[in-house]
Chain A
Amino acid sequence: MSLISRLAEKSWENPGIAEYREPDSYRPAAATVGVYVYFGVATVIFTLIAAAYLVRMGIPSAVDHGTGEDWSPMPEPPLLWINTGILVLSSLAWEAATRASRRDDVTRMRSMVMAGNALGVLFLVGQVLLWWHYQTAGYYLSANPANAFFYLLTAIHGLHLAGGIFAGGRTLGQMAMRADGQRICRNVRLCTIYWHYLLAVWLLLAALLVVT
Chain B
Amino acid sequence: MATTIADDLRPMHHPKTWVGKYVWSQDHKVIAIQYGVTAIAIGLVALVLSVLMRLQLGFPGLFPWIQPENYLQYVSMHGMIMVVYLLTALLLGGFGNYMIPLMIGARDMVFPFVNMLSYWIYLLSVLVLVSGFFVPGGPTGAGWTLYPPQAISEGTPGNQWGIVTMLGSLAIFIIAFTMGGLNYVTTVLQARTRGMTLMRMPLTVWGIFIASIMGLLAFPALFVAAIMMLLDHLLGSSFFMPAMMTMGQESNTQGGSPLLFQHLFWFFGHPEVYIVALPAFGIVSDLISVHARKNIFGYRMMVWAIVIIGGLSFLVWAHHMYVSGMNPYFGFFFATSTLIIAIPTAIKVYNWLLTLWRGDIHLRVPMLFAIAFLFTFIHGGLTGLFLGNVSVDVPLSDTFFVVGHFHMVMGVSPILVIFGAIYHWYPKITGRMWNETLGQVHFWVTFLGVYAVYLPMHYLGILGVPRRYYALGETSFIPESAHLANEAISVAAIIVFAAQFLFFYNMIWNLLRGPKADPNPWGAASLEWQTPQTPPGHGNWGPHLPTVYRWAYDYSVPHASRDFIPQNEPPSAEAPSEEAAL
On A, residues with C-beta under 8 Å from B are: 6-12, 15-17, 20-24, 27-31, 33-34, 37-38, 40-41, 44-45, 48-49, 52, 55-56, 63-71, 141-142, 145, 148, 152
Contact = CB atoms under 8 A, between A and B. Distances in A.
20 contacts: A6-B197, A7-B304, A7-B307, A9-B197, A17-B195, A21-B194, A29-B1, A30-B190, A34-B182, A37-B182, A41-B216, A41-B217, A41-B220, A45-B223, A49-B224, A52-B260, A70-B254, A145-B238, A145-B255, A152-B228
Given A37-B189, A41-B217, 12 more contacts: A7-B300, A11-B200, A16-B549, A16-B571, A21-B194, A27-B5, A41-B178, A49-B224, A65-B259, A70-B255, A141-B231, A145-B255
Contacts of A41: 178, 182, 216-217, 220
A12 B553 contact: yes
Contact of A145 (B4, B189, B227, B239): B239
Interface of B: 1, 4-6, 110-111, 178, 182, 185-187, 189-195, 197-200, 213, 216-217, 220-221, 223-224, 227-228, 231, 235-239, 242, 254-257, 259-260, 263-264, 267, 295, 299-300, 303-304, 307, 325-327, 547-551, 553-554, 565, 570-571
Contacts of A38: 178, 182
Contacts of A9: 197-199
A124 B356 CA distance: 60
Given A30-B111, A30-B190, A52-B228, A20 B197 contact: yes
B194 A20 contact: yes
Contacts of A40: 213, 216-217
A37 B326 CA distance: 34
Given A33-B186, A67-B255, A45 B220 contact: yes
A148 B231 contact: yes
A37 B235 contact: no
Among B110, B197, B255, the most chain A Cβ lie within 10 Å of the Cβ of B255
Among A7, A15, A17, A23, the most chain B Cβ lie within 10 Å of the Cβ of A15
Nearest to A3: B198
Contacts of B565: 15
A120 to B, nearest CB: 21
Contacts of A145: 237-239, 255-256
B299 A11 contact: yes
Given A9-B197, A48-B267, A17 B224 contact: no
Contact of A44 (B221, B327, B548): B221
Contact of A52 (B187, B224, B554): B224
